Amino acid sequence: MTFDKVYQYNFPTTIRFGAGAIKELPAYLKSNGLSKPMIVTDPVIAGLPFFKSIIKDLEAQQLSVEVFSNIHKNPVKSDVYKGTELWDQSSRDSVIGIGGGAALDVARAIVLRVNHREDLFKYDDLIGGDIYVTNDVPHFITVPTTAGTGSEVGRSAIIADDETHQKKILFSPKLMAKIVFADPVLTMDLPPFITAATGMDALTHNMEAFLAKNPHPLCDGIALEGIYLIKDALEKATNHPDLESRSKMLMASMMGAIAFQKGLGVVHSLAHPLSSLLDTHHGLANAVNIPYGMEFNIAGFEDKFRRMARTLELKEENGEAVVEYLFDLNAKIHIPHHLSEIGVKAEHIETLSDLALADFAHPNNPKPVNREDFKQLYLKAL
């Protein structure tokens, strides 16, 4: 894989990957007869120089741009409704999501809501709501700026209820981007903490997808290659970033999102309640919990862990070595080992355990997880 030029592949959507890919955006819009994009991003990205440069390039081609950035770092339903109001008021013809998981989730949910105006959570995939996604959706383009969630290649958005904080999944093949402009240069200026947390999110996606109980050999292969790329790149991308390490992380992030159509597991069910209850960064929540969740899964799945250890090129090819590797990697990229270091207190454990049990991810874990398991995992990680 070369890192200094743009190339294209299609899996499952069209992906323009490489340094400088973002420069193709204005010409792509014009060639598709689009002139009034609504850009959905987060408040931090909206103020950064690279984002202002993207807007400038679009406006230089006489494209009318409207920016919506009024979103929470863990997106809620009201964010989506506000964005749809702006769409209505400004007569847009396309949606461009630019950012990490939060921005891309809100962008995708707005794409759904434009022509589906019943209560947003009627479309929750967990209650079969995808069958109601029947109308056309606006032209949708994604531009990732972090290497973590891989939302740019996804078909779903995770949005929380403003009051209950419970996360809902909006899903439909219609919600896949028409094209992804994946430019690793846009990730070069990420601060080390965000690089580390989002990178561990990508690793969690790949590892949990590989372990998930549903048979899907294609996803297994993608997940193992994603793990291999992260092994080579995450520490360097965090501490001494260069184009190669950033490119590998961006690719591995997309691979994790493709692989986890197979399912996720216990780590995500431990992490999601931290985001909804305590507003913890999703990647950080996964990063702290992954060694404990992986340790929980070893018994009965030794062969899967042997294959992950081999992919990581560890001396000992077993689950214990994988867990040790995860603790070591977290230390190298300055991720804490314990939940108490990121604001979790003993009095949160019962509520967290309830939320974890209600979470959508753990039914795909290779082994069942009950409420007591979640409680003990939180206590161990505390």
- pLDDT given for residue 73 in this prediction: 82
pLDDT of residue 180: 97
Q: What are phi and psi of 13, to 5 degrees?
A: -105, 175
In whole angstroms, how far apart are CA 301 and each of 139, 268, 364? Answer: 43, 18, 14
At 164 the pLDDT is 83
Asked which of 164-168, 182-186, 206-210, 253-257 is least confident by mean pLDDT, the reply is 164-168
Instruction: Give tens-digit pLDDT for 65-112.
Output: 999 999 998 899 999 999 999 999 999 999 999 999 899 999 999 999
Express each pLDDT in 5-23 by its tens digit.
899 998 879 999 999 999 9
**pLDDT higher than threshold 90 for residue 4:** no
The predicted structure's pLDDT at residue 173: 93
SS3 for 237-251, per residue?
HHHCCCHHHHHHHHH
How large a percentage of the chain has pLDDT more than 70?
99
Using DSSP bridges, classify how beta strands 139-144 and 179-182 pair: parallel, antiparallel or unpaired.
parallel
| Mean pLDDT score, 113-129 | 94
The model's pLDDT over 73-85, given as tens digits with 9 standing for 90+, comes to 889 999 999 999 9
Please give the Cα distance from 309 to 205 (Å, whole number).
Answer: 16
Average pLDDT score over the chain: 95
Angle subtended by helix axes 349-358 and 266-278, to nearest 10: 120
**pLDDT of 297 above 70:** yes
Give the CA-trace dihedral at 372, 376, 377, 378, to 10 degrees. 100
Average pLDDT over every residue of 266-294: 94
The CA distance from 285 to 289, in Å, is: 6
Answer for the pair 318, 303: CB distance below 8 angstroms, yes or no: no
Please give the backbone phi and psi of residue 40, each rounded to the nearest 5 degrees, phi first. -105, 125
CATH class given for the domain over 7-186: alpha beta
Whether the link from the prior residue into 12 is cis, omega within 30° of 0, is yes
Kindly write down the DSSP assignment for every residue of 336-373, as one continuous string.
Answer: -SSGGGGT--GGGHHHHHHHHHH-SSGGGSSS---HHH
Q: Which amino acid is at 204?
A: T
Fold entry, domain 190-381: Dehydroquinate synthase-like, alpha domain (1.20.1090)
pLDDT band per the 50, 70, 90 thresholds, residue 276: confident
CB 118 within 8 A of CB 132: yes
Q: What are phi and psi of 5, to 5 degrees?
A: -140, 165
How confident is the model at residue 101, as a pLDDT?
86
Give the pLDDT confidence of 204-250 residue by residue, as tens digits.
999 999 999 989 999 999 999 999 999 989 999 999 999 999 999 99
The CA distance from 13 to 292, in Å, is: 34
Which alpha helices (H) appear in 61-191, and where do they start and end? 77-90, 101-114
Query: What residues contact residue 336 under an 8 Å CB cut-off, 6+ apart?
Result: 288, 330, 342
Distance of CA 167 to the CA centre of its chain: 14
Cα–Cα distance measured from residue 311 to residue 352, given in angstroms and rounded to the nearest whole number: 33
Residues 355-367: tens digit of each pLDDT = 999 998 999 999 9
Residue range 302-329: mean pLDDT, rounded:
98
**373-382 average pLDDT score:** 97
The predicted structure's pLDDT at residue 232 = 84
Spans of all domains in the chain: 7-186, 190-381
- The yes-or-no verdict on residue 1 having pLDDT over 80 is no
pLDDT beyond 80 at 345: yes
